[in-house]
Structure 1
Amino acid sequence: MRSSNPVFSSLKETQRPQGQNPYGGYDNFGGVYQQNVAPQKAERPMTVDDVITKTGITLAVIIVFALVTFGVWLVSPGLGMILTLVGAIGGFITVLVSTFGKKYGSAAVTLIYAVFEGLFVGGISLLLSGFTVGNANAGGLIGQAVLGTVGVFIGMLFVYKTGAIKVTPKFNRILTGMMVGVLVLVLGNVVWALFTGGASPLRDGGIIAIIFSLFCIGLAAFSFLSDFDAADRLVREGAPSKMAWGVALGLAVTLVWLYTEILRLLSYFQNR
């Protein structure tokens, strides 16, 4: 199985005789089959309800810790900034652990990511909305970003369900290539800021920055198609129910990315 999302891309499609499940324990009809390997305890196959439940729990944890950062920032802006940086670095490391440490489907890894990402989301929301400099419309800006994120998610789910856009290996390769390109540009932007003390043209609120944000929003939106396809395959192939935690992590990564890009774009227009 391949996906543009780094969390899902750690999964490898397993070749198997027809009717057998690559994850062990169940065939396509829900029965237990015998493998030519040491017996394994059969696990309940993953369902769509599992995905919804685990994703809901993950997002709830993110929201709770985002509110924690909000509260801390009101009392101590310095500590709030530290929590935001810890969340950003911790979330990035957790995704790397999940991807390269073969921890896909770990509830602990997913929830740890949610904690870190909650700290980051809370802080970045305050910064991008202008709350820290007394912007009276900060709350409305954050609300618009949340609604925009939910709208894009629902829209792309509809696109996937209707089959308007097919997720193929070529689609995933192109999407992955574009995401790597964006990552390089973002890292370059960080280096620029460190050496110049100011934002690069990609993040200064100008025309180039607006175009770049729109491109990132589009890329995040299309990433949902890849995420939905990976989750759909896991359900159809009877993956163990614990794998729903991995799906939740992958969807949360894309949701947070989309939210921050929408909020950043709205902030550009707010400052004009």
Structure 2
Amino acid sequence: MCVSELGCVKDQDCQGAGWICVRNKCDCGDGYVKQDALCVNVTVALGGKCNTSGDCAMTPSGQTTRCLDGVCWCKGGYRPTAEKQDCVPKVRLGGMCNKTEDCMNPSGNRRECWQGVCSCKAGFRPTPNKKDCVKVVIGGWCNETRECEVTSNTRRCDNNVCVCSPSYVPSRKNDNTCLKVSNYNEFCEEDHQCVSANNRCEVPKCTCKKGYRWEEFECVNCQGRLIRRKEKSNRRSICRETIFCTVIQEKFRNNIRAHFCKVPWDKQYRYNENLNISGGSKPSIHCAYNSDKP
């Protein structure tokens, strides 16, 4: 009678190497296949294809291997030798390596083989015991600029403190990001990124603050005064400080930029160089009344 047909209760009831008791019948265990009345060892070498970890052979140094994604591979904390004949311990921080897979990585994707040495990735630094890597934030302690870098050239290590590089400012929404400073009409994400005087960020560009307008090279204050300028003139605008009005719209007529103003008594007035009107007890203004709302 074939061994495989023998009834059993436990593995010891099955005779011969590789036999185990499966559902009260003797059968070949993991790493063995039936050949005639025998179970033959067919364990897979390192790097070979497998279905379960039981298919994988032990290495010459006595290390067990596992089936990972259908391939026999070294267990956690170990790496294959260059010839893939054995498994050896992974390299700690500061040790020599050939590739990132050689390095121990207990906390996920924080290490790499950099210039032949197991190192923390850019943006991370070693813990004091050099067993792990931790993220370096702006204002945090650092040894070198590489530990600060998240995006190239945006951060640097200055006197052992991680700071934004020149021409960059810390984000107020993300404490680990530096934003490039911007001038008027340049790309922006946050207000303090706009460094030109009296600018603010109206995503995606820097623009003048409310009550200011761009005049040649700067944002000038339009609150409480009327600004006039001929369209084709290169001279600066003339601001009349005595006029109490807020520009709410502008139009062009006869080569003159006409500003529509809202005055204290809440009517619409339009600038006109040639007219001066007074409103009784109201302050004198240099705006002509305009019956057509802008």
> TM > 0.5 between the two?
no
TM-score normalised by L of structure 2: 0.17
Higher Cα radius of gyration: 2
Identify the structure with the greater strand proportion. 2
TM-score normalised by L of structure 1: 0.18
